[in-house]
Amino acid sequence: MSSKMEIYNTFGLHATADRYLVINDESQLRQFLSSGQLSQPYLILGGGSNMVFTRHFSGTIIHLENKGIRLLAPKSSAEDCLVEAAAGEVWDDFVHHCIGHGWHGTENLVAIPGTVGAAPVQNLGAYGVEAKDIIHSVRAFEIATGRERIFTNDECQFAYRDSIFKGVLKNQYIIWSVVFRLQREFHPDIQYKALSEALHSAGIESPTPQQLADTITQVRWGKLPRPEEMGSAGSFFKNPVVPAEQYHKLKETYPDIVAYPVSEGYKLAAGWLIEHAGWKGRSLGRCGVYEKQALVLVNRGGCTGQEVLALAEAVTEAVRSQFSVTLQKEAIII
């Protein structure tokens, strides 16, 4: 454990904490949990890809680096397989491992930054698939007691970019591994418009798993900044859900508005709202709205967490005053 450690985050914000603890194996974790060495507050850091640090963190950052991906052979069948992955595995390495082994279901979630342990926390999702669709269970340790607990998929209370680990159990459990239910036969999910268009223009009618992953990677990097090139936290805002009545009113004024029907009404494309509120490509201080995808706030160089918040507030206000819709942040603000 060291003091005043610099915390890695994909936004590239300067961030420090009192203590920084790297955990590699289960015995080390159990030892630390029972030693009483951890003082409140804690923050569990995955790949640092969804976090915006606005201040020094007066507490302990716990960074998991446990590794391992294994087929739970006795629990698998001819149709599907249960695969357990350690929380510290890099998410994209896990996706490619699954593709290489003929375990299907992760393909649409290729090229997403972060770790396996972070996937259930925010129920990561892209191109028509969410982590909740493939998660079987989550194995975690309660920080206060050191007790192990298995959360079934239902118990995780998954919702759009949300779970129990972001809600009532926030910072109370360390997710140690995730078990996925994957398919042995490949049934590609290619409904998402940008994806089906990209496959069509490449002349691919029924993609192989690798072709699907490659196409999604291309579509994704066409719109989102690569962490190594420009700092960001991916989508900074969630796509807001509004009642059907409100959507129909908006549609009368803005016939081109992009929205998808969901059970509670309509999910609006926040990127479209931000773009049409005039913020796409603009900056405030050293933080900007990404030119190719307005849902993403980017570090123009040397940006601080406070500058991110100031831009987020300006964008939220512009969208609220023009569309009467309140944007919620997807990124976690520390």
Residues that bind ligand EPU (CB under 6 A): 126-127, 194, 223-224, 234-235, 238-239, 258, 269, 271-272, 275, 280, 293-295, 330
Pairing mode, strands 42-45 and 2-6: unpaired
User: What residues contact 234, with CB distance under 8 A and at least 6 apart?
Assistant: 10, 49, 50, 112, 113, 224, 296, 330, 331
Q: How far is the CB of 311 from ligand EPU (least distance, A)?
A: 15
Give yes or no: 235 in active site. yes
Question: Cα separation of 186 and 182, whole Å?
Answer: 10
Q: How far is the CB of 33 from ligand EPU (least distance, A)?
A: 31
**Residue placing its CB nearer to ligand EPU in the complex, 88 or 234:** 234
**Residue placing its CB nearer to ligand EPU in the complex, 6 or 317:** 317
Give yes or no: 282 in active site. no
Give yes or no: 229 in active site. no
**Residue placing its CB nearer to ligand EPU in the complex, 204 or 269:** 269
User: What residues contact 155, with CB distance under 8 A and at least 6 apart?
Assistant: 164
Is-contact 123 132, C-beta < 8 A?
A: yes
**Residue placing its CB nearer to ligand EPU in the complex, 88 or 240:** 240
User: What residues contact 295, with CB distance under 8 A and at least 6 apart?
Assistant: 235, 236, 237, 239, 270, 271, 274
Q: How far is the CB of 275 from ligand EPU (least distance, A)?
A: 4
**Residue placing its CB nearer to ligand EPU in the complex, 269 or 309:** 269
Q: How far is the CB of 318 from ligand EPU (least distance, A)?
A: 14
From 19, 139, 161, 181, the catalytic residue: 161
Side-chain-side CA neighbours of residue 312 (13 Å)? 25
Q: How far is the CB of 180 from ligand EPU (least distance, A)?
A: 19
Question: Cα separation of 93 and 87, whole Å?
Answer: 12
The two tokens of residue 321 are 């005053």
Amino acid 179 reads V
Catalytic sites, residue numbers: 161, 235, 330
